[in-house]
């Protein structure tokens, strides 16, 4: 995963292709992911890479606010398409992992005692790795749900939205926001597990309440 060397034309081409159908490196708002990639680029991309140049100029406008953008900045190799080799530097294992010699020495034959010790350490290492809790990727999503008109029962509309239940979906706070002509939209927060719930599923389920819902839009999307 990664963009390769972003100081080279090849790396900028990967970035440009990646941004062809995206506004940001992650999600729907500028975040620390954009700042991490922006800071790895030596200069504005050439005009030929217009998607990358558009994104670069946009993120540059947030230079004074970059510290306040959401998210946590990660290693550069954690961003970008999955099928590109990360050339930003191999990740180092933890100190405990470095202390374990998994394969022994190639310079001399192992004694029975050394072989037994190596196998014990390997077993301890595997046991330690298996006990580490899996990291569950989650996102916080703010949805705008629009009714047909000012006569739509907004309490019933919200009740319908909250009736949608799924593994990995938790509904949060909500409020009604005026949009004009006496019409108000429902703005509602939810937290989802990325592997289980997506915005496409939410849109399909919410707009199925066609007696109340005209449309649904994603107002904000942030990784947690």
- pLDDT tens across 95-145, in order? 444 444 544 444 445 577 788 888 888 887 777 766 666 678 899 999 999
Last residue of some domain: 34, 52, 78?
78
If one counts the domains in the chain, the total is: 2
Assigned domain for 101 exists = no
Q: What is the pTM of this model?
A: 0.43
Give the domain extent around 74. Answer: 9-78
What pLDDT does 85 receive? 60
In a domain, 163, yes or no: yes
Q: Same domain, yes or no, for 219 and 142?
A: yes
Residue 132 lies in a domain: no
pLDDT at 83 (0 to 100)? 64
How many angstroms from the chain centroid is the CA of residue 197? 13
Lowest mean pLDDT among 7-11, 37-41, 55-59, 122-126: 122-126
Residue 92 within any structural domain of the chain: no
- 3-class SS at 124? helix
- The 10s digit of each residue's pLDDT in 159-214 is 999 999 999 999 999 999 999 999 999 999 999 999 999 999 999 999 999 999 99
From 31, 57, 78, give the residue that closes a domain: 78
Tokens of 39: 């800071």
Among all chains, which residue has been given the structure tokens 């992992």? 97
Residue 196, in any domain of the structure: yes
Q: What is the pLDDT of residues 69-89, one digit of tens each?
A: 998 888 888 888 876 665 554
Domain annotation covers residue 192: yes
The answer as to whether 87 is a domain residue is: no
| Alpha-carbon span 201 to 58, nearest angstrom | 30
Residue (of 203, 201, 186) closest to 146 by Cα position: 186
Cα separation, 49 vs 12, in Å, equals 7
Q: Flag whether 108 is in a domain.
A: no
Q: The CATH number of the domain where 144 resides is what?
A: 3.30.70.60
Same domain, 145 and 218: yes
The reply to whether 218 and 145 lie within a common domain is yes
- Judge if 218 and 144 occupy the same domain: yes
Question: Which of 19-28, 63-72, 131-140 has the least mean pLDDT?
Answer: 131-140
Q: Are residues 146 and 214 in the same domain?
A: yes
């Amino acid at each position: 995963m990664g963009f390769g060397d972003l100081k080279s034309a090849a790396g900028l081409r990967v970035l440009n292709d990646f941004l062809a159908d995206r506004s940001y490196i992650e999600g729907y708002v500028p975040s620390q992911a954009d700042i991490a990639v922006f800071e790895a680029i030596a200069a504005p991309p050439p005009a030929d890479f217009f998607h990358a140049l558009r994104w670069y100029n946009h993120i540059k406008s947030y230079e004074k606010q970059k510290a306040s953008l959401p998210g946590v900045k990660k290693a550069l190799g954690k961003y970008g398409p999955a099928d590109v080799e990360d050339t930003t530097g191999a990740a180092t294992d933890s100190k405990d992992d470095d202390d374990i010699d998994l394969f022994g020495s190639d310079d001399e034959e192992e004694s029975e005692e050394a072989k037994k010790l190596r196998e014990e350490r390997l077993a301890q290492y595997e046991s330690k790795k298996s006990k580490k809790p899996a990291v569950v990727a989650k996102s916080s999503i703010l949805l705008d749900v629009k009714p047909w008109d000012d006569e739509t029962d907004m309490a019933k509309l919200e009740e319908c939205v909250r009736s949608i239940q799924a593994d990995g979906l938790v509904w949060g706070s909500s409020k009604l926001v005026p949009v004009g002509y006496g019409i108000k939209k429902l703005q509602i927060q939810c937290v989802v597990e990325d592997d289980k719930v997506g915005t496409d599923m939410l849109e399909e389920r919410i707009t199925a309440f066609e007696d109340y819902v005209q449309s649904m839009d994603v107002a904000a999307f942030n990784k947690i």
